[in-house]
Each structure stands twice: as C-alpha cells, then as structure tokens.
Amino acid sequence: NIDYIRIFKPQQEWSISTLYSRTGLTNNFTTDILNASGNTANSLRNENKNYNAEITLQSDYQTPIRKNQILEFGVKAIFRTVDSDYKYLMAAQSGPFIPSTTSPSGSLNYNQNVGAGYVSYTLTTPNKYNFKIGTRYEFTGIDAELANDIKVDIPNYGNLVPSINVSKNITESTSLKAGYNRRLQRPGINQLNPNVNISNPQSISTGNPGLSPEMTDNFELALSTNIKKTYLNVSVFGRQTNKSITQVRMALDTLPGAILTTFENIGTQKAYGMNIFANVFITSKW
C-alpha cells in the first residue's frame, strides 16, 4: 500500500490511499471409499486452486467551511478478481488417479468492481452539541463465468449507506453519544466458490456465485467519563442484518440419504449487547 496526505492547515487536508493484495489458496482432499470388509475399494481426489486479488484506490478531502463546521467528501474504487479451478480424479484399488467421468470439474472467474462516493457534514453548536451526518453511495458491478465461458447471471446493485452521529459534552470530563449507521458485508470466496465438495458422499457442500451482500443497521448509545483517575466508557448497541447469508441444507433426489449444503440470502439476524471499558491510572508506572 502507498498513502499520501497533504495538510494545508488545521482540519484542512487531502489524502490518497492505494492498496494491492493477492492471496493464493489450495484446498485439496483425498477420500478413500471402503468396501464392506473395510478395505479401500476406490479413491476420490479433488484438486482446487484459487486466488483472490484486490486493488483499492481512494481519495479523501476535508475542510472547515466556518469556525464550527467541517465538510468531508471522497471517492473510492475497488477491483476484486477471484479465480478458482477445480477437478475430480478417481482411482480404482491400487490404480492411478484419472479424471472422473461422474463428478463435476470446472472453474469460476469472478470480477467485482465497486465504485463509491461519500459526503459528510459536521456541526458543533455553542451549547456543545456535535452533529455529524453523512451518506455514501456504492455501486457494485459483477461479471462471472464458469467453465466453457458459461455466464453466471448476477445483477449489478447500488446501495445507499447513511450515518448519523450526535454527541454532547455534558461536562468537561463526560460526554454522551448516539449513533446510527449502515454496513455492507459482501460474500467471501468460500461462500461463492461453486466447487462441489463430496469428500463425504452423504454430506455434500458447494458455494453460490449469485449471493448478494448483507445489509446491517447499527444503533449505539455510549457514555464516556473520567472519575478521578479512571476513564470509563459504557455503550449499548442493537444490530439488525437483512438478507443475511445463511447455510441451507436440502435432500438430494439423485443421491438418496445425502444432504447438500449451500448458501442463500434468506436470513434475518438481530443482536443486542453492552460494552464496558475502563482504563485505571494506579501509579505513574501502572
């Protein structure tokens, strides 16, 4: 990653951030299928190599527009590439591995391009209220194909992601903050990869290249204070995730007794909680 920041004056700055990353993964397995006497009747091997590459470009600018107001805006682009090649090999007892004629082999070439822009406005009032309101729009374009140039129909989508934060300095050492924001969580490679894992013929799993991102709404209320030599932060939060990526299990008509596990955007998750953090100054060294 390479980052650049230019500070013109206090609270007025411009930054550029770049990132490149690439991760290679090899997920292979070999299964020995036993006969009634416990000896190896035949063997199944799956070879699955994939990589995930990402390029990120980002530029942000903030400036005071009056003594008590700050304006921020920026743009961001993310280019992700996921490639996965997989094949199945079979071997008879004590024989060599040869390509399987019954188990699926193939590939996934997945390109995800994200463009985003945001704007944020901060206002500090004379009675020590601080308001920060912003929104971000993201557009995601996806191009995916399987082996033999078979296209996967994944629609492009746009998402508006708002945020609102309000804080109040009750005293010089105590502040209260309330906030709302929305978060996106895109599916990972293991959830997208269509490689069929049949290491256990009775429990088969595969990914779903057509998954959409999860949308999470976050609400938080926090109190921060100093009590003598102790800093204390207490917060409560609530989260709701729609279109949650959830495991789905179903019976296979073509293989009696077997269960297929995959992923779908069918879940709704709700979470509530509390965080308590304390920093205690005991002595100058502790």
What are the tens digits of pLDDT across the range 71-106?
Answer: 999 999 999 998 888 888 888 877 788 888 777 677
pLDDT range class, residue 139, cuts 50, 70, 90:
very high
**What pLDDT shows up at residue 163?**
95
Mean pLDDT within 21-34: 84
**What pLDDT shows up at residue 49?**
83
Number of Cβ within a 10 Å radius of residue 241: 18
pLDDT in tens, 52-70: 899 999 999 999 998 899 9
On whether the CB atoms of residues 222 and 233 are closer than 8 A, the answer is yes
Nearest Cα residue to 104 out of 168, 193, 37, 26: 193
pLDDT in tens, 162-206: 999 999 988 888 999 999 999 988 887 778 777 777 777 788 898
pLDDT range class, residue 236, cuts 50, 70, 90:
very high
Mean pLDDT of the chain, nearest integer: 89
More confidently predicted of 59 and 108: 59
User: What is the pTM assigned to this prediction?
Assistant: 0.73
Please give the Cα distance from 241 to 184 (Å, whole number): 9
Mean pLDDT within 112-131: 94
**What pLDDT shows up at residue 284?**
84
- Beta strands of 147-229 (E only): which ranges? 150-152, 157-169, 174-185, 197-200, 203-205, 214-227
Q: What share of the chain is helix, strand, coil (3-state, %, to 5)?
A: 0, 75, 25
On whether the CB atoms of residues 113 and 156 are closer than 8 A, the answer is no
**What pLDDT shows up at residue 218?**
96
On whether the CB atoms of residues 16 and 3 are closer than 8 A, the answer is yes
Residue 46: is its pLDDT beyond 80?
yes
- Provide φ and ψ at 54, rounded to 5°: -145, 135
On whether the CB atoms of residues 277 and 224 are closer than 8 A, the answer is no
**What pLDDT shows up at residue 211?**
86
Close Cβ partners of 51 (under 8 Å, ≥ 6 residues apart): 22, 23, 24, 25, 82, 83
Nearest Cα residue to 51 out of 26, 29, 28: 26
On whether the CB atoms of residues 144 and 103 are closer than 8 A, the answer is no
Residue 40: is its pLDDT beyond 90?
no
Please give the Cα distance from 269 to 242 (Å, whole number): 7
On whether the CB atoms of residues 210 and 228 are closer than 8 A, the answer is no
Residue 39: is its pLDDT beyond 90?
no
